[in-house]
Structure 1
Amino acid sequence: MTRPMGRIVAFAPETNGWDGPVGQLARKMKQLGNDVWWIQRDGNDCPINEFRNKNNCEIDRGIFDWRELLNGARWLITAGPTLISNDDEIASWSAALTFAELEGTLNALILSSSEETFTEIWSKLVPRIRQFHIIGLISSEIEWISNYEEWDTPQNKDDLINTLNQIQHKTLIPHLLARERKRGGWGVNSHTYGISKTDTTQDLEMGEWIGAFLHGLIKFGHGEEATQRALEESNK
């Protein structure tokens, strides 16, 4: 099978992964014209338009040939729910991150936690945090991280953005994105060059919003002006 160079690879091995944020992102990026492939629980991959969502087979961490699956891939997309699934799914995710680094593939993750699952997900993510080029959060997750770190709890939009910046400075994630859908919505990217903001966000699911941003990043590049344009692209 010939896999296109520069493709986006999506991996969400939990049984409802296709319906979650990784599936949302994959479909959005395909809609925007990108080459997107889906890695299945049985260790095979395919273009997402050929995937039939048969994600009910048993998973075995040893079945994935990550060197082959990630060869030539530009981005690997995963999400937080994988980190609260079973041991084989978590081990497969961990191996995928390791091989992505070896293959030169950039990692992007959508945190996608709830108040009940946040601590379990975040505590597993922190030791590997610097393997990620993009992490996407919602505003409530900024508050939970602040509480986890025993910082002052953000009280308003400005506090949330300042806390997001504080998280970025501590973790050195190149693009730490956050969005709020209420009260007109806003989106922020705390990045290596500073901070980019948009005052509104489209009524998209989080995976779709991050997918539109990533499409903009691929389109415009990673510089300071480019990251602002990519953030604005997420609203289209």
Structure 2
Amino acid sequence: MAASEVRIVAFGRPERDDAASAVLSAAAERGARTRLVTSAPGEDFATMDHGAIDWRSTLDSAHWLVSSASTALDGASPRYAWGAGMTFGELEGARTVMIVDMPSNPLRLAESWGAVIERIRQVHVLFIAPDAIDALSALEEVSAAELLQRVRHRGLVPHVCTYLPNERTALVEHSLGSVNLQLTAVTQPLEWLAGFLCGLPSAGPGQAGVERAAGGS
């Protein structure tokens, strides 16, 4: 399956300044078919009419629904939409990708992480932003090295991953093992995630398939 056959929907802010929108843009550059779900033109995102979103038609034939944890902090209406998207994703066969990013106020990480934990069984790919690893490790009371594996085991998430740009290393914990892969090309974390999502549907089964997707091949 070529990247052009992968369809990705993201829920994010209309300014496209959030993590989910960044993944969507990077995936579009790879040729994926993308769509941003956000507030209507002229509407305040924090008080958007979340009931106006037709999630069923939006997610029809989509491979992935990408959201970020910090979006749950943007207001009650975005949080309702954030949760509804995941629920409809389950019904329509779109797998949820959750980006655990640092909120603009780092003191609210526990709040955004708590929102993710409430719905973690609906998440298929959990990406932890590298700048959130240490703080999240402290919340979970585990070492940074153990964080991905611990979250995967506790939440039964099929894929828990991150990308460390300084080391150019992709880390993926999945149901059949672990991937620790150093890339030759320089990339940014959300660009790596976009490539992983574009590659995973056609990468094949098992450890080898996850490694192919993680390596962008």
Q: CA deviation at 1:109?
A: 1.4
Amino acid of the structure 2 residue aligned with 1:32:
R
Amino acid at match of 2:200: L
Unpaired stretches in structure 2, ≥5 consecutive residues: none
Does residue 1:133 correspond to 2:117, yes or no?
Answer: no
State which structure, 1 or 2, has the greater radius of gyration over its C-alpha atoms. 1
Structure 2 match to 1:45: none
The answer on 1:221 being equivalent to 2:207 is: no
Distance 1:187 1:7 in 2: 23
Q: Distance in 2 between matches of 1:141 and 1:168?
A: 16
Provide the residue aligned with 1:113 in structure 2.
Answer: 102
Q: Distance in 2 between matches of 1:105 and 1:200?
A: 28
Describe the SS at the equivalent of 2:119.
Answer: helix
| Kept in 1: contact 2:203–2:210 (CA 8 A) | yes
Aligned to 2:79: 90
Name 1:46's counterpart in structure 2. none
Give per-residue Cα distances to partners, 1:66-106, cap 9 Å, x unaligned: 11211222211111221110111111111111111111110
Residue 31 of structure 1: CA displacement? 1.5
Show structure 1 runs of 4+ deviating over 4 A.
Answer: 200-203
SS in 1 for 2:61: coil
Tell whether the 8 Å contact from 1:181 to 1:201 is kept in structure 2 after alignment. no
What's the TM-score, normalizing by structure 2? 0.86
Q: Distance in 2 between matches of 1:201 and 1:20?
A: 27
CA contact (8 A) 1:11 1:77 kept: yes
Structure 1 residues 176, 201: CA separation in 2 closer, same or farther (over 3 Å shift)? farther
The percent of aligned pairs where both chains have the same amino acid is 26
Q: What count of residue pairs does the alignment treat as equivalent?
A: 209
Q: Which of 121, 145, 154 in structure 2 is aligned with 1:161?
A: 145
Deviation at 1:203, TM superposition (A): 4.2
Residue pairs, 1:127-206, within 5 angstroms? 127-151=118-142, 154=143, 160-182=144-166, 184-200=167-183, 202-206=185-189
Letter in 1 for 2:147: T
Residue in 1 that maps onto 2:193: 210
What is the rounded CA distance, in whole Å, between the counterparts of 2:195 and 2:171 in structure 1?
14
Amino acid at match of 2:163: R
Q: Could you tell me which residue of structure 2 aligns to residue 38 of structure 1? A: 36
Q: Which residue of 1 aligns with 2:7?
A: 7
